[in-house]
Amino acid sequence: MTTLPTVARLLVTLLVPLAAAAQPGVPHSSEKVFEAIGVREGHTICEIGAGDGTQSVAAARVVGPNGRVYTSELGEKRVTALTAAVTASGLTQITVVTGDTDKTNFPDAGCDALFMRDVYHHFSSPARMNHAILAALKPGARVAIVDFRPPGEEAVNPADRAKGGMHGVYPETVVAEMKNAGFEPVVSEKSERWFMVVLSKPRALDRLVARIR
């Protein structure tokens, strides 16, 4: 028999991501994210796991017709829905990309900045995905990750971070995993449960690769 506390915890786990978008105190607004990663007119901006495309459309309005936005989702239904939303926006500078669990499918070194919202804790292989994100960014480009902590302990296995009472990820874990991929931390902004971490792709990495070549 399911107890009332168990039901309550389940409801919190399911509803927190939905409720947060409407909370002004959460570092979740497009304006705050875009400011943190330096979105500018003419830039190429990439979003992983764009959902209904609201943030990608907002980014497209900032970069303007001379910029480009690559936006991705997983699964045929989600990609179709995202494509429909992008088409309805009338903004031709947005390109919808079919996502992958281990790679971005964005152009190599094509992104001036990249962001994701409530997505990172779904990465089952964060090491592989983080290296793919690094490859998609231009030298010095920034990535912003907005996500939330689990209500209790963090899952030991990354593939379990989206499950039950372990739904979420610690900001310290995100930073550590991104650093392991070669990123440099820029800033972290935290509230009681929500957080935004911003990291950058070092320019030195590209100079080193250039010398090796």
* Domains of the chain from N-terminus onward: 23-212 (3.40.50.150)
pLDDT for residue 48: 98
Backbone angles phi, psi at 28, to 5 degrees: -130, -15
Q: What is the pLDDT along the chain (213 residues), one digit of tens a residue?
A: 444 333 333 333 333 333 333 343 444 689 999 999 999 999 999 999 999 999 999 999 999 999 999 999 999 999 999 999 999 999 999 999 999 999 999 999 999 999 999 999 999 999 999 999 999 999 999 999 999 999 999 999 999 999 888 899 999 999 999 999 999 999 999 888 899 999 999 997 555 444 444
Q: Are 104 and 73 in contact (CB under 8 A)?
A: no
Rounded distance between C-alpha atoms, residue 201 and residue 135, angstroms: 9
Neighbour count for residue 212 (Cβ, 10 Å): 6
Helix axes of 54-63 and 30-37: crossing angle, nearest 10 degrees: 50
Residues contacting residue 193 through CB under 8 Å, at least 6 positions apart: 16, 148, 149, 168
pLDDT score recorded for residue 28: 67
Looking at residue 158, what is its pLDDT?
Answer: 95
Distances (CA, A) of 26 to 112, 132, 202: 25, 28, 28
Q: How far is CA 129 from CA 27, 71, 124, in A?
A: 23, 16, 9
User: What number of other Cβ atoms are within 10 A of residue 53's Cβ?
Assistant: 26
What single letter denotes the amino acid at residue 140?
Answer: G
- The token pair at 64 is 């303007």
Distance CA 60, CA 15 (A): 29
For residues 171 and 195, is the Cβ–Cβ distance under 8 A?
A: yes
The pTM of the whole model exceeds 0.75: yes
